[in-house]
Amino acid sequence: MPLPPLPRSHFLPDEIRLSVVPAPEKIQPEGEDAFLYLVVSQDRAGHLMATGLPINRRSPLMVTERSGIMFWLAKIADTTAGDSDTSPVVLRFKRSLVAQALEQDPDHTAEFSTPCYLLSGN
């Protein structure tokens, strides 16, 4: 009998339509759209754009809806004030293409007052 397939370890960039948001400050926070968002450093963004999003139950990526971007950017600005010369990068990807790997993140949902999720693979 054949062995069962290995668990999925990542989503490829093209598979989930991973892209950089060129001007996150211009995104209107109201309403829901078909995307989820991730805020990372420029180095990390380059790596994720090349390799895709990892799925890891021990260290899941936190993602948010459009309304959480400004809260996330403000939190990064508060915690890294003067520490970094580079600004964070906002990445987006299709929600429907990763839905099976998402779980609710109640801690960040409460902190940002908007739905947040963990990309953990469930």
Dihedral class, residue 26 (left if φ above 0, else alpha if ψ from -120 to 50, else beta): alpha
pLDDT at 100 over 70: yes
Rounded to two decimals, what is the model's pTM?
Answer: 0.86
Q: Are 54 and 96 in contact (CB under 8 A)?
A: no
The residue ranges of every structural domain in the chain are 10-119
Mean pLDDT, rounded, for 99-105: 93
- DSSP helix/strand/coil, 119: strand
pLDDT at 96 over 80: yes
Secondary element (H or E) of residue 104: strand 102-104
Residues 64-74: tens digit of each pLDDT: 999 899 899 88
Residues 29-39: tens digit of each pLDDT: 776 789 999 99
